[in-house]
A = this chain, B = another copy of it.
Amino acid sequence: MNQLDLVRELAEKSQTKIVMLVADGLGGLPLQKGGKTELETAATPNLDRLAACGTSGSSVPVLPGITPGSGPGHLGLFGYDPLEFKIGRGALEATGIGFELGPDDVAARGNFCTLDTAGLIADRRAGRIPSEESFKVVERLQGVKIEGVETFVKPVKEHRFVVVFRGPGLNGGVADTDPQAVGVAPLDPQPIVPAARRTADVAKEFVRQARALLKDEPKANGLVLRGFAGKPQLPGYEELYGLRAAAIAVYPMYKGLARLAGMTLIGKAQSLDEQIDELGKCWQDYDFFFLHFKYTDSTGEDGDFAEKVRRIEELDRAIPRIEKLGPDVLIVTGDHSTPSRLKSHSWHPVPTLLSAESCRPDGLTKFAERQCLQGGLGMFPAKHLMLMAMAHAGRFGKFGA
């Protein structure tokens, strides 16, 4: 019996509320040997207080040593095995801008680029064309017409857009056309599985017509396509957990992930404070709340240790406002680590705390990586976190007689 079937069997209705605050890329590393991580350095009186009455541990996003992208990182936190459920980049990007993928859709992420007179890539990001300009270029691409297929082209930001092909029998098994280099031509769309031959032909025709429509653009006269993918089939939060789930995120990617899990996107918050305003407003209407905080990741990616510390402290100051709403279960975790020393996602376990009435004390008084190693949640696969959230929320029946 797998985890999702088990969840379906045991889930019970309740009035309890669960908040999962995901600090993206939360885990870190010391800059020097023997030093402290970003979280260990930050002053986090509120998180420390939660750790003292809750239970902490270390979340392993996929498997030890495996560095996840945002997709697998969040799937694990939402209780899906990231090795079983995969989300292609195109599907993720489309969902993230609010495009509702259907079962017949294949989505790809597009990048405008600048081609020289020989048709070779001169600038892989089309001179980082501003969004306003890019949106007009995308508008032109609405002129593409391919027989038997409906085509949607949607702007994302700057040189990035999404294309979705809709039609029976399409397949995401098409290789990227981005050669990831300048001075070479974009690749032709090629099937990587036989069933994707027609989809590759559709993509080829799209590129042909697009090139014609864009030939007079000064910057965005070419394009590459990446991450072809159909809609992943994730059972939703309501069906699975019996939870009406709300997602309060700022960035499209995380909104998209939440939507794939059947969560409702709430508000248009642009800051953590606004996110918590939204949380308060929709508190009565949902059972589960996913709050996404981006800046612990982006500062890590920037390699800015001090700024990541500052962002963690910003997160800490937001905790009392969340507590005031009275969640039955409050979880603080991350989808992966992003140590500023590495300037990238990493495989290191993610400090995680769960605060609820039914927590067994584990003796911790601080929330940080090395304390979490001694915590009552132990070292656990991220996909188990929702099981504990459901248990502490009194939303699981007993398993077996």
Listed in ascending order, the chain A residues whose CB lies under 8 Å from chain B are 1-3, 6, 10, 27, 29-30, 33-35, 37, 53, 58, 62-73, 82-84, 86-89, 92, 227, 342, 344-349, 358, 360-363, 369-370, 373-380, 384, 386-392, 396-401
Contacts and interface: CB of A to CB of B under 8 A. Distances in A.
Nearest to A357: B33
Contacts of A70: 401
B400 A72 contact: yes
Nearest to A372: B376
Contacts of A396: 65-67, 347
Q: Assembly of this chain: how many copies?
A: 2
A37 B69 contact: no
A377 B27 CA distance: 15
The dominant DSSP class at the A interface is loop
A391 B347 contact: yes
A74 B154 CA distance: 52
A372 to B, nearest CB: 10
A119 to B, nearest CB: 28
A373 B370 contact: no
Contacts of A349: 376, 378
B6 A400 contact: no
CB-CB nearest 8 A-B residue pairs:
A65-B387, A378-B379, A65-B391, A89-B401, A72-B400, A69-B400, A65-B388, A1-B83
